[in-house]
Amino acid sequence: MKEYYDVIIVGTGAAGLYCALNLPERKNILMITKKEADQSDSFLAQGGICMLRGEDDYEDYFEDTMRAGHYENNKKAVDLMLRSSNSIIRDLLTREVDFERNEKGDLEFTREGAHSQPRILFHEDITGKEITSKLLAQAQARENIEIVEYMTMVDLISADNICGGVVAMDEQDEIYEIRAPYVVLACGGLGGLYKNSTNFPHITGDALGIAMKHGILLENIDYIQIHPTTLYSKKPGRRFLISESVRGEGAYLYDKNGQRFTNELQPRDLLSQAIFSQMEKQDTEFVWEDMRPLGESTIMKHFPNIFSRCLEEGFDVRKEPIPVVPAQHYFMGGIKVNLGSRTSMQGLYACGETSCNGVHGKNRLASNSLLESLVFARRAADDILFGKKPEPCQAGAVDRKAYEDRESLMAGYRTVILNEIERMKKNHE
């Protein structure tokens, strides 16, 4: 790892990798990640990635996204995402991402909750892994991209609201000052702050606390999505998600008496509320999800990972319902960015779940996350190449003593984030 790069990208999920791959090979790029490179939430995405299915679908797709987001979405950002979706998918196909196809060889589409029609491409029930692993392999093969694992960003280097790099620490608490005229924050959401979450536990929203320290604008950080269906377990750790596609393909939800109690295809927040209400009414810790209506062929072809994981927990989804419960899943707020993924600090960009460009509004529509990440990661790369250049950062050497107690430092960031979430919740009430 050198002291100077053209671009530093924090995070090795879909957003960070796609940004790096959309920058030319003449740029020296450093990517850092807190754990191993494949331990980002992008690898966990099950359902799929949306694609606009022609002009006849535009109004429906736009309305589906807006309705799910309670009409708090940034319309320009939604339009940009929809209009960019076909070029993103074409590019993924050239990168040998393998989406499901029908007998004629055409792309196969599935439907999920709150979608008016099927428009979601998928690879079994591990779409995120299929996309992100292909991007990671390509980034690892590029000589101009250096990926450093077990390296945690603990601060930004900045002066006069101009970013000049990052301060990072390795597992041995050695401190690194790494300089670059461009920094891209693509370090995921904040699920690690919650007891029950589908996210990796090390993804704790560090970038938000660091942004607050530097006065960088945030937006809607209390907009936190609960996924309605995760596999119920008393074991500690990350919750296993039962994909939205399962209900989109026809699975039912039952109460403790085996009775359906709600519309399974509602937006996620409304369905989560319905499940919580039913659990409270009947004093239960979960409800039941029944995949048997899908038929064994669909289960084994479309959801082999879910089938295997449930079998490990003692449930055969071909023959019986499984217990499910809502859990924290996704973060709609974040570091405020424009349509070029620029933050309020010169030279600093954010994309993916770390950022808030307004696409999702108050509640994300199923399978818009991977698409949004890729669209605005490419926008960040384009802006770095063709946008207005930041002024040189005049920051001097960092005070290394300020970073010697990493645990206290990171705990402080987490406390600041949680306090700000509570403050914004009260403002929105």
Strands 7-10 and 182-185: parallel
CA 387, 77, 82, 79 torsion-angle sign: negative
User: Active site includes 67?
Assistant: no
Q: Which of 268, 309, 342, 364 is catalytic?
A: 268
Token pair of 109 as six digits: 């589409």
Full strand arrangement of the beta sheet holding 7-10: 145-148, 29-32, 7-10, 182-185, 348-350
CA 418, 420, 423, 429 torsion-angle sign: negative
Helix (H, G, I), strand (E, B) or coil at 400: helix
With beta carbons less than 8 A apart as the criterion, state whether 367 and 112 touch. yes
Which residue bears the tokens 């009414």? Answer: 281
- Angle among Cα 201, 207, 210 to the nearest 5 degrees reads 125
Which residues have C-beta within 8 Å of that of residue 372, sequence separation ≥ 6? 81, 352, 357, 359, 360
Query: Would residue 220 be called left, alpha or beta, if left means φ above 0 and alpha means ψ between -120 and 50 degrees?
Result: left
End-to-end CA distance of the chain: 47
In angstroms, rounded to a whole number, what is the distance separating the alpha carbons of residues 363 and 330? 9
Please give the positions annotated as active site: 268
